[in-house]
Amino acid sequence: MKYRLMDLLACPICRSFPLELHVFRTRRIEVELNPAKCEVYCGYALKRLDELEGEPACSECWRTEIIDGLLFCESCCRWYPIENEIPRMLPDDLRDQNDDLRFLAAWRSRVPEEILRKGKPFSLSAS
């Protein structure tokens, strides 16, 4: 997943923006640079553009691919895994509880405690 997506993604359940990003694993890629700039939110800096001091690091952002991580909506406490560069932002009824719990357990040391205990639709305390 590109950090650039953070400028576009909102919670599919409550429509809250921006989402909180937790990055577990990344990789560098080589790209020809002529990066498009974000419009509202810089996912790489995790700030709204009007809150940034100086220019955003667009070239670094475009050279970094998020392999594994987690998106979290503070408004409704839902979390969405990022696995193999793909954010899985499905509604609750289409999510697989076993897959989600396996993901949380695998990244337990990197997932914030609030998500482990109270995350929706599944958490490790509810299993």
CATH of residue 51: 2.20.25.10
Distance of alpha carbon 17 from alpha carbon 65, whole angstroms: 21
- Burial of 1-23, coded b for 16+ CB within 10 Å and e otherwise, reads bbbbbbbebebebeeeebbebbb
Please indicate, yes or no, if residue 77 is contained in any of the structural domains.
yes
Q: Is the pLDDT score of 50 beyond 80?
A: yes
Please indicate, yes or no, if residue 108 is contained in any of the structural domains.
no
Residue type, 10: A
Answer with the residue of higher pLDDT: 76 or 60. Answer: 76
Q: What is the pLDDT of residue 10?
A: 97
Please indicate, yes or no, if residue 13 is contained in any of the structural domains.
yes
Please indicate, yes or no, if residue 102 is contained in any of the structural domains.
no
Please indicate, yes or no, if residue 64 is contained in any of the structural domains.
yes
Please indicate, yes or no, if residue 121 is contained in any of the structural domains.
no
Q: What is the pLDDT of residue 56?
A: 86
Distance of alpha carbon 61 from alpha carbon 20, whole angstroms: 17
- Rounded to two decimals, what is the model's pTM? 0.91
| Range(s) of the domain holding residue 29 | 3-89
Each residue's pLDDT tens digit, 25-48: 999 988 777 777 899 999 999 999
Q: What is the pLDDT of residue 26?
A: 97
Please indicate, yes or no, if residue 14 is contained in any of the structural domains.
yes
Please indicate, yes or no, if residue 65 is contained in any of the structural domains.
yes
Number of structural domains in the chain: 1
Each residue's pLDDT tens digit, 66-112: 999 999 999 999 999 999 999 999 999 999 999 999 999 999 999 99
